[in-house]
Structure 1
């Protein structure tokens, strides 16, 4: 009789990942086999091995940096050659020499240069940074947005999707209101401005979207598509997605599109302000002649 179970011999062994991949990309609560570099075994009589972690490329939130920079490990890491060792690993930004990232991990050696590493947590929290412009737009739903980010970072698709859907639906009028400000700033067609004003008053997302018949200013389109339509398409899937993984993909897509829309709105207003300022300066120069 055939068995449906896979024997241990048939189960593929996951490949070890690099230490930088573990710190930068693996969320807390996961264990991975990791290949370490710069390990000093310290001789046969030494019960500990000394490990010097490589630089990481992380986001630095300091005002001086406000972007991705290289972080250097601070201090020295030692782990037992046999058994489990728990430790903190701290990295400091090489650029501002101030901002730090700290990890709580455990290390269990498997070979001389490989260990099973578990990540308990990290501070600041795992995942891409939360842009200040997006948090400002969230208003009363800021906490819900941050909870959605935590769910997304931990791979909890249903939770992340539910929080992001709540944020977008409850902040619909504010999002459309910000788009309206951009349209007015750019002197968009009166028909479009009227569409946006009507859409802002609608309570339901679908009806609000139907109100916008004249599209959006081209500068706000994402890869040629209306971002509101993209958000509505993702939200329409609901929690009936086939799996938690599918919900996670939708949740991530909602966040990425929403973030890009906010960035494009900020860029549109900034460019218009810079253009107006440039025109005024040139007019002043011309008036002096």
Structure 2
């Protein structure tokens, strides 16, 4: 895994991911099913109506799923995965906007907030294309009910002190477990048997992707005092943390080149953790999903203006 993402792997990733992107941009297969047409006027969420990134991501997920399991995923499943991603995005936004409250709302309270309720309703409609919709909804509700209170408490604790083990547990919930849920939604939608290997690779895909996110979101997370894996790991080295905090407080650019020079111990350990998760993804097509995610981050954040030396 190349967090610096030098030119050659970047070009290779574009070449491999471009067919997925073009297919979604031109044909929009997940949005042309009968169910998609039925809900078109009912979903006002900007995350769904103005972006195809979840469609492209879902296409990459399907390709990896089929690679690992040798089982096909029908086009009709695409809409449910797109809308589940929209639901998670909307849910996270609602949770973030209520974190300052003394009484952070429960899972069911957040689910009743207008935008989240709309995303949930659209997702349930998308599931009408499978006879296993009730099974899927029970599964999702059980995961949230079993894990949300712990996740909410971890987020609150992480705002008071940066601890790497706490940050890792947060990522387990909001990234690894979410991608694992996507695997199970796909599997149950299709009526496929459990594949432990595929489940593990989807989980690791979520974990590896979060390491990409957090190194790109350093400035934003520092400014909002949000949990961040790199900041938490840097807290174990006071000298490097002080150097990093000073840079961020001055709102100066922080990229991989700067981190490797000024926080070498933290950067080296962080790179090793990210690589460990990435290397547990055996499917080249699921690895492509992580690589494409990193490429998208680069295009948004441009945090590697200076390449690391080979």
Per the shorter chain, which TM-score range?
under 0.3
Larger Rg: 1
Q: Which has the higher helix share?
A: 2
TM-score by length of 2: 0.23
Q: Which has the higher contact order (CA 8 A, sep 6+)?
A: 2
Q: Which has the higher strand share?
A: 1
